[in-house]
């Protein structure tokens, strides 16, 4: 299967039109960053040097210099611009300082070199580029695959995507549920936890981080207090530790703990987070509920739908410009609150899950300037919302 994601065209356009910048592709594992880089190379028709730092032991900064020397040699031998692609760059110790030095050398000497840096840990990658590479890079985000992409690539309907999620490598196994679950658990989840989180971060309690992820899978799109988490986790330490570990899981594009919205106020520290999994596969591969059983359980399917909407927002709204939270007062709540500057949108997901009291009216009375949006029955159809770019859709809501 050969499918071209939108990021490929964006990378090609930026390299062709300039200005000369480092092109940084960041996103979860197994969403097609490397494939996108290869497709961009093919479209650009340039000589290329490709190297991956995804090794058991993190390489040192000399690894970057060695690959850079290969690309410089290729450019001198061919007299053409060369594209250097460095995959899993965040694994290299001191990578950002080395990249800065070599990039600045090339700019001074007008060397014919284009550089793409790929990474699967947003915290480590963005920490390096913001500290050392300011003004030298263009960031391309590679989110988990949307329903529209899975529909075009695999012919999936919406229910299938809500259950199986957006990992393209797992898609061929969807008709073999046992193999699909094992692949997602072993090849995706375990690899991310062991290589992108535990290997590269200081985690005092690795078992607790794993248990926190497993707990999050059981409560998709639900508000869960830290005290309740402490009661369900062994050796959980304190709420500060749990909040920190949730942030680490977020940097690996696994789970986010959304904060409580409080416009114009400082958010209450330690407020109960709303757990949203970034990919539906993370929920259903580890829940062991067959597709038919999950679809027949209205309450559980409602949670999956609500999580899918939250994941769609997180995957496609750049965090520097946009914020995603939730709101609750008493027994009423708003599923998602989106902010951009002074603009605020309140979203309610109508998923057929009973026993809920909408908080849109009360939210609007508290924040009169907010725009409200219903997703699902009596509002924007779910397939339309999940098949669109949420930035354009939200901007169109007056």
pLDDT the model gives residue 122: 65
Residue 127, pLDDT score: 64
Domain boundary among 84, 108, 142: 142
Q: What integer is the mean pLDDT of 325-332?
A: 92
Query: pLDDT tens for residues 173-231?
Result: 999 999 999 999 999 999 888 877 887 677 888 889 999 999 999 999 999 999 889 88
Domain boundary among 90, 116, 142: 142
Do 51 and 163 lie in one domain? The reply is no
Q: How confident is the model at residue 266 (pLDDT cuts 50, 70, 90)?
A: very low
The confidence score (pLDDT) of residue 306 equals 97
| Domain encompassing residue 379 | 157-396
Domain count for the chain, please give it: 2
Domain assignment present for residue 343? The answer is yes
Cα separation, 102 vs 379, whole angstroms: 53
Note the pTM of the prediction, 2 decimals. Answer: 0.91
The region, left, alpha or beta by phi > 0 then psi within -120 to 50, assigned to residue 133 is alpha
pLDDT of 395 above 70: yes
Residues 304 and 161: their CA atoms lie apart, in Å, by: 10
User: Between these two residues, 242 and 58, which has the higher pLDDT value?
Assistant: 242
Pair 177, 129 in one domain: no
136 and 164, same structural domain? no
Tokens at residue 357, please?
């009291």
Instruction: Report if residue 84 sits inside a domain.
Output: yes
Q: 102 and 12, same structural domain?
A: yes
Is position 148 within any domain? no
For the chain, what is the mean pLDDT? 90
SS3 263: coil
Beta-strand pair 113-119/22-27: parallel
pLDDT in tens, 210-225: 999 999 999 999 999 9
Nearest to 25 by CA among 34, 13, 17: 34
């Amino acid at each position: 299967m050969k499918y071209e994601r939108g990021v490929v065209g964006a990378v090609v356009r930026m390299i062709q039109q300039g200005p000369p910048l480092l092109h940084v592709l960041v996103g979860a594992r197994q969403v097609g960053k490397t494939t996108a880089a290869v497709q961009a190379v093919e479209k650009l028709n340039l000589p290329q040097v490709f190297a991956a730092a995804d090794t058991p032991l993190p390489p040192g900064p000399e690894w970057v210099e060695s690959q850079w020397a290969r690309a410089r040699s290729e450019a001198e031998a061919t007299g053409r611009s060369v594209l250097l692609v460095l995959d899993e760059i965040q694994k290299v110790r001191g990578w950002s300082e080395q990249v800065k030095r070599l990039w600045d050398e090339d700019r001074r000497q007008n060397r014919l070199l284009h550089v793409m840096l790929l990474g699967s840990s947003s915290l480590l990658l963005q920490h390096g580029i913001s500290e050392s590479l300011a003004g030298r890079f263009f960031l391309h985000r590679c989110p988990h695959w949307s329903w529209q992409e899975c529909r075009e690539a695999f012919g999936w309907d919406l229910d299938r995507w809500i259950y199986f999620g957006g990992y393209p490598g797992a898609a061929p196994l969807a008709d073999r549920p046992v193999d699909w679950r094992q692949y997602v658990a072993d090849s995706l989840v375990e690899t991310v936890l062991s290589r992108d989180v535990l290997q590269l971060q200081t985690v005092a309690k690795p078992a607790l981080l794993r248990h926190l992820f497993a707990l999050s899978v059981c409560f998709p799109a639900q508000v869960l207090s830290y005290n309740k988490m402490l009661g369900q986790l062994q050796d959980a330490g304190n709420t500060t530790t749990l909040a920190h570990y949730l942030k680490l899981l977020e940097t690996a594009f696994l789970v986010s703990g959304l904060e409580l919205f409080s416009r114009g106020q400082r958010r209450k520290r330690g407020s109960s987070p709303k757990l949203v999994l970034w990919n539906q596969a993370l929920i259903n591969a580890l829940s062991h509920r067959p597709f038919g059983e999950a679809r027949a359980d209205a309450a559980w399917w409602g949670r999956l739908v609500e999580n899918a909407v939250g994941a769609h927002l997180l995957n496609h709204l750049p965090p520097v410009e946009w914020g995603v939270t939730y709101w609750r007062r008493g027994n009423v709540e708003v599923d998602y609150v989106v902010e951009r500057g002074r603009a605020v949108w309140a979203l309610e997901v109508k998923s057929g899950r009973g026993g809920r009291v909408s908080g849109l009216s009360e939210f609007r009375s508290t924040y009169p300037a907010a725009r409200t949006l219903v997703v699902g029955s009596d509002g924007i159809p779910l397939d339309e919302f999940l098949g669109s770019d949420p930035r354009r859709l939200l901007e169109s809501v007056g």
